[in-house]
């Protein structure tokens, strides 16, 4: 279903005096046929404004764009679109030689039992392939457990499946952000307790190329602290790292989130296919004892 956003400038006056202006504002709208008065009402709802006297919009345009999660949007009535369930794969495939994080070893896949050799062990017409893979846990799309950062933190085997499966996803579409660092203020308009916060930066389009390694978006320390205080369950990003790898060895986002038992999933992809709200997110690694990081098959149900 095509989604639409309104682009406009706005001037607001209040019944008890004062006012505010907005330039180049963008707002989710339910359809391309919405009128100016309806956009003005949604604008007031989205900002949570009280005692509004008048709203004047200028240069209003309705543009086909994915929703970003504006509050107060009136969705199309039930039955206007056929109900369906869609599963979106959010993981990069793993293959021999894949470079996920520059400087870390790529996976090596070798046969343990070839199909040809297996024919000597089984009945005629029956054959199997058994292969071995040698790889670092930080391969493809992977999840960090607290043990990744802290010696006394929980390992992969200790993770509660209820914190990995079917989480309410809150997606923040930030691919047009002006700064690399994602600030705490981005999260102020949503109730995030118990959710999977997914940061869509668009950096995944560079995955597997040299351009992926530098200039990547990241979550700021203040942003990580806000999410920890909000009680989120998981934070995922489609970028090189949830921390700024170009500012030295400090890793505040990892340190804060994993200290609070919040799972971290890095190198996601296709987050742009998800709505800002309404999806369910799953990313479950195998239960490996004494191990902190491992690839996941991350996906969302829409």
Could you report the per-residue pLDDT of 112-138, keeping only the tens digit for each? 999 999 999 999 999 999 999 999 999
Q: Which helix (H) or strand (E) holds 53?
A: strand 52-64
Percent of the chain with pLDDT over 70: 96
pLDDT in tens, 236-278: 999 999 999 999 889 999 999 999 999 999 999 999 999 999 9
Report the predicted TM-score, pTM, of the whole model to 2 decimal places. Answer: 0.83
From 169, 175, 165, 166, select the one nearest 190 (Cα to Cα). Answer: 169
pLDDT band at 78 (very low <50, low <70, confident <90, very high): very low
HSE, side-chain direction, 13 A CA sphere, residue 216: 30
- In angstroms, the first-to-last Cα distance of the chain is 12
Collect all residues with Cβ–Cβ distance below 8 Å to 93 and sequence separation of at least 6.
Answer: 140
Dist. CA 241–CA 254, nearest whole Å: 9
pLDDT of amino acid 79: 45
Half-sphere exposure at residue 65, Cβ-oriented, CA atoms within 13 angstroms: 17
């Amino acid at each position: 279903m095509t989604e639409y956003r309104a682009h406009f400038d706005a001037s607001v006056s209040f019944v008890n005096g004062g006012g505010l202006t907005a330039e180049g504002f963008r707002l989710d709208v339910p359809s391309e046929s919405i009128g100016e008065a309806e956009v003005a009402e949604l604008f007031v709802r989205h900002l949570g404004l009280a005692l509004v006297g008048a709203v004047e919009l200028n240069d209003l345009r309705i543009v086909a764009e994915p929703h970003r999660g504006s509050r107060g949007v009136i969705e199309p009535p039930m039955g206007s679109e056929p109900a369906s369930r869609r599963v979106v794969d959010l993981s990069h495939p793993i293959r021999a030689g894949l470079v996920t994080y520059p400087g870390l070893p790529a996976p090596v896949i070798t046969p343990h039992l070839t199909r040809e050799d297996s024919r000597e062990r089984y009945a005629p017409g029956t054959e199997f392939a058994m292969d071995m893979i040698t790889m670092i846990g930080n391969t493809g799309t992977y999840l960090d457990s607290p043990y990744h950062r802290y010696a006394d933190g929980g390992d992969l085997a200790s993770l509660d499946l209820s914190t990995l499966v079917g989480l309410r996803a809150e997606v923040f579409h930030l691919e047009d952000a002006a700064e690399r660092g994602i600030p705490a203020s981005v999260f102020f308009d949503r109730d995030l307790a118990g959710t999977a916060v997914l940061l869509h930066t668009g950096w995944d389009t560079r995955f597997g190329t040299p351009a992926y390694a530098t200039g990547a978006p990241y979550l700021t320390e203040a942003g990580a602290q806000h999410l920890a205080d909000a009680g989120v369950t998981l934070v995922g990003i489609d970028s090189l790292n949830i921390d700024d790898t170009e500012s030295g060895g400090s890793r505040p986002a990892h340190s804060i989130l994993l200290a609070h038992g919040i799972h971290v999933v890095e190198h996601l992809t296709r987050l742009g296919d998800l709505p800002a709200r309404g999806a369910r997110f799953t990313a479950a690694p195998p239960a490996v004892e004494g191990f902190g990081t491992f690839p996941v098959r991350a996906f969302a149900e829409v």
